Amino acid sequence: MSLIDVIKRHVHPLVQSNSKPEWFNTRCCVCNDHTNKGLRGGFHFVEPETVSYSCFNCSHAAKYDPNDANCNHITKNMRIVLNAYNIPQDEVNQVLRENLGLKATEIAKKPLKYEPKVLTLPEHFYELKTAPNDDKWKMIAEYYLKNRLIEPDKYPFLLSTGKGFQANKWLGRIIIPIYKDHQLVFYHGRSLVEPVQPKYVNSSGDREGVLYNYDEIFTYSERPLFVVEGFFDAYLINGIAIVGKFVTDEQVFWLNRSNRRKIVIPDRWGDGKRMAEHAIKAGWEVSFPDFGACKDITDAVKKYGKLYVMSAIMKNIKSGIAAEIHSKLYFKD
């Protein structure tokens, strides 16, 4: 079995290029590309075993070539690709055993990184709330946040001067720092100008053990833990955000430290189905509220009010087989 076989079995659609038949185009799940420019991600297959990946939207690139003397494992960038497309780890392990001759114990799984790495903020970042009132990006950011029902001075949002090493990619973004035990462990920036792609850029380092709102996990309450994909929805309902497209084993570990009910509220569009699958596998509950044409919780709160939204979430909770069945009908492409 080769990695090419595994990918072709699990990734859909894979549209073969007419001009370059070794290229197969697909929607990029690394950046969750939803632009109208077509299939921007692509796998390059060189039979029988070599795989490359590239996305024209987020520029993520990866390669696996077992014939390369330096390639004795799945690289970090290729792991990101395989995780994003929900490729089963046991099948990847089998590929490595057959192609590289490694023992199962050597490749079973990369070590879990429960404690996220502590980061420092780049010097070109500055606080939104202390920026001058005539700062162009401050005015745009405050308008954007208020439109998302968030008071700009209620969270330590940041902006970038865009000056310095690799600083330009942060210019024109509202930067969201995430803390654990009062230490910075992650930050990402959301574009304030549409339609800039990718919408988000992330800090360097792994996000495996990163969650927004860690403190809520260890807060005693009869209220459930609401788990969503992004910061803005989590902020509005005092929930937990996985700040990514899929739930990691480390995030499962942290969330299971709480005895409270875990209710996952996946987005109806995009990668919500995959998030629901991970939740069901972890033994959590999933809510499938119907918010009409609203694309996320924030839009629903703006249209219907928070009380209605929370009521709809609590009335549409499923678990186990019922959640599996419901997810087949709920999600939109």
Segment 160-170, tens digit of pLDDT: 999 988 889 99
Burial of 251 (0-12, 13-18, 19+ CB in 10 A): buried
Instruction: Check if 112-209 and 211-333 are the same fold.
Output: no
* 266 compared with 49, residue with greater pLDDT: 266
Residue type, 312: A
The reported pLDDT for the residue numbered 104 is: 41
* 10 compared with 160, residue with greater pLDDT: 160
Q: Which residues pair with 125 in a beta bridge?
A: 160
Q: Is the model's pLDDT at 303 over the cut of 80?
A: yes
Global confidence as pTM: 0.70
Question: Given strand 200-202, what is the order of strands in its sheet?
Answer: 125-127, 158-160, 173-180, 183-191, 200-202
CB atoms within 10 A of CB 259: 8
Which stretch of 72-76, 266-270, 290-294, 310-314 has the lowest confidence by average pLDDT? Answer: 72-76
The reported pLDDT for the residue numbered 234 is: 96
Q: Which CATH number fits domain 211-333: 3.40.1360.10, 3.30.70.100, 3.90.1150.200, 3.40.50.1580?
A: 3.40.1360.10
* 38 compared with 123, residue with greater pLDDT: 123
Pairing state between β 125-127 and 158-160: antiparallel
Q: What percent of the chain has pLDDT over 70?
A: 93
Which stretch of 76-90, 119-133, 240-254 has the lowest confidence by average pLDDT? Answer: 76-90
Mean pLDDT of 257-271: 88
Mean pLDDT of 51-75: 81
State the chain's mean pLDDT as an integer.
Answer: 88
Q: Are 99 and 66 in contact (CB under 8 A)?
A: yes
How many helices (H) and strands (E) are present in the chain, helices listed first? 12, 15
- Which value, in Å, is the radius of gyration of the alpha carbons in the chain? 21
Q: Is the model's pLDDT at 274 over the cut of 50?
A: yes
The reported pLDDT for the residue numbered 136 is: 95
The reported pLDDT for the residue numbered 103 is: 43
CB atoms within 10 A of CB 305: 11
pLDDT in tens, 12-41: 888 988 888 889 999 888 877 767 778 889
Q: Which residues pair with 175 in a beta bridge?
A: 158, 189
Domain 112-209 in this protein, CATH class: alpha beta
pLDDT in tens, 197-231: 788 999 987 788 899 999 898 888 889 999 999 99
What angle is formed at CA 63 by the lines to CA 107 and CA 242, rounded to 5 degrees? Answer: 70
What's the CA gap between 249 and 189, in Å, rounded? 24
Q: pLDDT band at 77, cuts 50/70/90?
A: confident
> What are the tokens at 247?
């739930």
Q: Is the model's pLDDT at 249 over the cut of 70?
A: yes
What's the CA gap between 204 and 201, in Å, rounded? 10
Length of the chain, in residues? 333
Q: pLDDT band at 72, cuts 50/70/90?
A: low
Q: Is 179 helix (H, G, I), strand (E, B) or coil?
A: strand
H or E stretch including 46? strand 41-46
Question: Given strand 240-241, what is the order of strands in its sheet?
Answer: 240-241, 225-228, 262-264, 285-287, 317-318
Where do the structural domains in the chain lie, given as residue ranges?
3-107, 112-209, 211-333
The reported pLDDT for the residue numbered 110 is: 54
The reported pLDDT for the residue numbered 293 is: 87
Q: Which residue, 19, 32, 8, is CA-closest to 274?
A: 32
* 103 compared with 236, residue with greater pLDDT: 236
The reported pLDDT for the residue numbered 115 is: 83
DSSP tag of 242: -
Q: Is the model's pLDDT at 42 over the cut of 60?
A: yes
DSSP tag of 212: B
Q: CA of 57: how far to CAs of 27, 30, 67, 83, 286, in Å? A: 10, 10, 29, 18, 31
Residue the block writes with tokens 């959590």: 284
Residues 6+ apart with CB under 8 A from 30: 41, 55, 58, 60, 80, 81, 84, 245
What's the CA gap between 306 and 234, in Å, rounded? 13
